[in-house]
Amino acid sequence: MCSTPDPDANLQRADALVRRAAADGAGLVLLPEKWTAYGAPEDIAAGAQLLDGPAITWARALAAELSIDLVAGSVAEAVPGQERTANTSVHVGPDGEIHATYRKLHLFDVTIDGRRYAESEREQPGEAMVLSHTADGVGLGLSVCYDLRFPELYRSLALAGARVLLVPAAFTWATTLQHWEVLLRARAIEEQCFVIAANQHSEAVPGLRTGGHSMVVDPWGVVIARAPADTDAVVLADLDLDRLEHVRATLPSLQHRRPEAYARPVEGT
């Protein structure tokens, strides 16, 4: 999607895309980061909602109607009693119930191509990683955008039982060009998981450009589905969990870990 500061228009667009995905056979659907309202920091703050607000109420109703697992990307969550919002990903099951809520751990405080991003000024970080499960029991590792640069999060999720890693994002144009695919494929290869990544595209507001190229990567690091850079799209892929287990059995790197040796490096002489 290319979300804008208009929550109503974004929800209508998301509804059409999710329905298209389900009609094409998707049983697990992921939306991008901040799909409900994206733009300048004040636009995102203005679009913040409680988790019983319109966006997640819609997600619950639609997941039940279509009998799908719907991970509603992330939304700017208005947290009662807190001045700052949370960047929150919500997994809704086919029963219409919220199965997991994950608040983004790593906040994007950087300067890219001369533009300063300072999420911590308006957002508060989460405090815990979150593993959820689809209706048929497949482990889902939840994350959001900038989390992608922190491999220890994904290793912990894989060891906890994740088979699919989810990355809703609004990666900048510059970092999408240079880092997006490399990081997604690296996380898939390292953790021997499928990675599903839904990225915002184009300009939400003038001067704020994201890179698109939403994709699905298999546990061998192969991109098995990809969206264009600059248009709304539904990306579909079959997740062959037997292939995942084959990869883990034939190249058992997760079993070869030696965590007792990683605690502290020995000083050289």
Strands 98-103 and 223-226: unpaired
C-alpha 184/C-alpha 105 separation (Å) is 18
What is the dihedral sign for C-alpha 65, 27, 136, 49?
A: negative
Record the tokens describing residue 265, joined without a space: 């490096």
Which is the catalytic residue, given 34, 123, 145, 191?
145
Please confirm, yes or no, whether 33 is among the known catalytic residues.
yes
Gyration radius of the chain over CA positions: 18
Of residues 233, 236, 199, the one with CA closest to residue 216: 236
- 262, burial (CB in 10 Å: exposed 0-12, middle 13-18, buried 19+): exposed
Residue holding tokens 């329905």? 19
C-alpha 72/C-alpha 63 separation (Å) is 10
Which is the catalytic residue, given 77, 104, 191, 193?
104
With H, G, I as helix, E, B as strand and everything else as coil, classify residue 64: helix
Please confirm, yes or no, whether 145 is among the known catalytic residues.
yes
Strands 131-133 and 139-142: antiparallel
Please confirm, yes or no, whether 127 is among the known catalytic residues.
no
Which is the catalytic residue, given 2, 33, 34, 191?
33
Strand segments (E) across the chain: 28-30, 69-71, 75-77, 86-92, 98-103, 109-112, 115-118, 131-133, 139-142, 164-169, 194-199, 201-205, 208-211, 215-217, 223-226
Question: Where in the sequence numbering do the catalytic residues fall?
Answer: 33, 104, 145
